Structure 1
Amino acid sequence: MKTTAAVLAGLVLLALAPDAAAKEPPMHWTLAIHGGAGTMRREAMTPAREAEYRAALDAALNAGSAVLAKGGSALDAVSAAVAVMEDDPHFNAGRGAVFTWDGTNQLDAAIMDGRTRAAGAIAGVSHVKNPVRLARAVMEHSPHVMLAGAGAEAFARTQGIQMVDHAYFATPERRRQLEELKAKNLGFLDVDHKYGTVGAVALDSQGHVAAATSTGGMTGKRWDRIGDSPIIGAGTYADDRACAVSATGAGEYFIRAGAAHEICARIRFKGESAQTAADAVIKDIAELGGDGGVIVVTPGGDAAFSFNTPGMYRARTSSAGGREVAIFRD
């Protein structure tokens, strides 16, 4: 028969031992996506069209959140979400890319890992099915941050990135927009006034953030114009010390404002909330004459949207269970 002392010792050891049946601590993660900002007004969109866009945003949100819910990385989550939107012709990225003045498609993308601040970007490619995957390959398998044009596509072939014929991007709606621009002698922004860039920002259960952005640019653009999307610090930025940002809008103004980095700097050095920092930078861009929007996620799990246009295709969800899919400002 055990002595009282032995029983007490056993109870102490049992209390100190790890509980094998205890559950793992809950995983906290957050994901936000956007599909572009612009003149999306409720009265100008049919219920059927609105349902199509909501379903498209849902699909991208599901792809990214599935990664995070399984303990996957923020980098994998933003890659997955953006790739889904690149495959959907509703968005001006990948499959749905707009036409240049010469009737070609020029795609830009970027991705950044907040854990290491490693980044990859590509610009002006015309045969890459999923530009975000090429941007990631540049980050992970090259000594560079940005590649462009024919050189970027040559690198893509060495990495086994899926390439497609020009016909893949020739959607009727994007062709119509180019023809309208030329027929009416409109400016770049006057045809279907939307910045169709897509993007995603995420926080994973390990506490790391990441951002990715992809775009087909502007309808009727000339001279190999490149906007803010592939420029690290302008349209895309991620830093575990502050936040992850993806932007959409009049790229020239976001470049001049250093928008994505500026938001992170305000959070890191001024202690501002994600919403306050994002609103301040969008206000600054408006004062310069530009418009558009941003999505932001912080290491604390806060997710913010900020835009100065009538609408922005956007969605967010988290491990806490909240889910939002929205288009219009109201």
Structure 2
Amino acid sequence: MERKTHSRPTALVIHGGAGVIERDQLGADDERDIRAGLDAALDAGHAVLASGGSALDAVEAAARALEDSPRFNAGHGAVFDAEGRHELDASVMEGHTRRAGAVAGVTTIRNPVSLARAVMEHSPHVMLIGAGAEAFADTRADIERVPNAYFDTPHRRRELEQAQARERADAGNAGDLKGKYFGTIGAVALDAQGRIATATSTGGMTNKRWGRVGDTPLVGAGTWADERCGVSGTGWGEFFIRCAVAHDIAARVEYRGDTLQDAIDDVILRAVPTLGGDGGAIALDRAGNVVMSFNTSGMYRGWIRPDGTRGTAIFRE
């Protein structure tokens, strides 16, 4: 007698950054392109899940699609630092094994999320930085290196010029950074085996100095996955580090029995703003519940729920 197997429903949620995103400042063409980029990432991740692939493969595929788009602050669309160059950070985490990998301050890796995965799977370490991470990349034939100028885009150059002009006008003080970024991309997936994985990638903050690293490559701050849920954050990284945002959300689910929505809202809408930070996060649990929360005027985001319904959003629709 033939034995039937029943796979569980799958789910995917992605983000492309949170910050001051006003309707009257986002043209129709820009909005169309951003939504198209989000849809392309959903398609890439969902194709993996629909074919029975792993959550880890799905979040890498979705994150790579966002990294390859010039519309998001990761990979090809990464912001410029104060020296007019790009330093990129990324991390991945697999929930059911708690394996994780991360890279920070890399400058020639086309898809940092893939290097983060390689660190997880092919090194004894969790995080590699700078020149060491790139030396490790040289040992991997599947990691593509590119010139730093590959990441240049005209609108990111304008953002750097505007940030430096504001800084000069403010006598060298960086001033209030709240909302002054569209930072980070991320993905969380649930596969047909009930496994969860998370990936997060960023170019950091415009005009950053001194090798600044935010929350994105820090496991527990910008990225987390366990057997219950996965979380990817986006926002003012210093505050996400101080609040251990991604792990705090998951801990509220595990230890207090909070719903994922209550947990994410508690952290994003209360804990982070209380300290003076802002941003957002996406998450899903092993039942396929997709949640998204942000305290800024907008967050680029997209989702495919277990029932197959999907969508993208930018503002507070």
Q: Describe the SS at the equivalent of 1:194.
A: coil
Normalising by structure 2, report the TM-score. 0.95
Aligned to 1:71: 52
Instruction: Please state if 1:223 is matched with 2:215.
Output: no
**Pairing of 1:99-114 with structure 2 (within 5 A):** 99-114=80-95
Matched, 1:281 2:262: no
The 5 Å alignment of 1:31-46 reads 31-46=12-27
Q: Whole-Å Cα distance in 1 between the matches of residues 25 and 79 of structure 2?
A: 21
In the TM superposition, 1:1-330 aligns within 5 A as 18=1, 20=2, 24-160=5-141, 161-185=143-167, 187=174, 193-240=180-227, 242-282=228-268, 283-330=270-317
What SS is found at the alignment partner of 2:314? strand
The gaps in structure 1 that reach 5 residues or longer are 1-17
- Please state how far the C-alpha of 1:42 moved relative to its aligned partner: 1.7
Q: Evaluate the alpha carbon distance shift between residue 274 and residue 292 of structure 1 in structure 2; reply closer, same or farther with a 3 A threshold.
A: same
- The Cα shift of 1:271 comes to 1.1
Q: Distance in 1 between matches of 2:186 and 2:56?
A: 12
* Distance in 2 of aligned mates of 1:269 and 1:190: 33
Q: Per the alignment, do residues 171 and 189 of structure 1 end up closer, same or farther by CA in structure 2, a change over 3 Å counting? A: farther
1:238-292, Cα deviation, whole Å (9 max, x unpaired): 001x210000000010101111001111101111111100000111001110000
- Cα–Cα, structure 1 residues 232 and 192, in superposed 2: closer, same or farther, change >3 Å? closer
Once the two structures are TM-superposed, the CA of residue 23 in structure 1 deviates from its matched residue by 5.8
Deviation (angstroms), 1:183: 2.3
CA distance in 2, matches of 1:315, 1:150: 34
Is the contact between residue 92 and residue 102 of structure 2 (CA under 8 Å) also seen in structure 1? Answer: yes
In 2, the alpha carbon distance for the partners of 1:26 and 1:204 equals: 9
Superposition deviation, residue 156 in structure 1: 0.5
Amino acid at match of 1:127: T
Any conservation in 1 of the 2:11–2:189 contact (CA below 8 Å)?
yes
Deviation at 1:115, TM superposition (A): 1.3
Q: Distance in 2 between matches of 1:250 and 1:191?
A: 7
**Count of residue pairs the alignment pairs up:** 310
Distance 1:189 1:134 in 2: 33
> Counterparts of 1:192 and 1:173 in 2: how far apart (Å)?
17
The 2-side partners of 1:190 and 1:289 are apart by 10
C-alpha displacement at 1:180, in angstroms?
A: 1.5
Q: CA deviation at 1:325?
A: 0.5
Q: Are 1:93 and 1:215, in contact at CA under 8 Å, matched by a contact in 2?
A: yes
Q: Which amino acid aligns with 1:145?
A: V
Structure 2 residue aligned with 1:8: none
Residue 231 of structure 1: how far off its partner (Å): 0.1
Q: Please state whether the residue corresponding to 1:162 is helix, strand or coil.
A: coil
Deviation at 1:179, TM superposition (A): 1.3
Within 1, Cα distance between the matches of 2:164 and 2:251? 41
* Rounded Cα–Cα distance in structure 2 between residues aligned with 1:210 and 1:320: 19
Equivalent AA in structure 1 for residue 155 of structure 2: E
Preserved contact between residue 191 and residue 219 of structure 1 (Cα < 8 Å): no
Amino acid at match of 2:83: D
Change (3 A) 1:129 1:74: same
SS of aligned partner of 1:90: coil
Check the 8 A contact 1:74/1:203 in 2, yes or no.
yes
Greater gyration radius: 1
Q: RMSD value over aligned CA atoms?
A: 1.5
| 1:149 shift after superposition | 0.2
Cα separation, 2, equivalents of 1:189 and 1:311: 18
5+ residue gaps, structure 2: none
1:27–1:71 contact (8 Å) kept in structure 2: no
What is the DSSP-based 3-state SS (H/G/I as helix, E as strand, rest coil) of the residue aligned with 1:184?
A: helix
CA, structure 1 residues 110+54, in 2 after alignment: closer, same or farther (shift >3 Å)? same
TM-score, reference length from structure 1: 0.91
Identity of aligned residues (%): 55
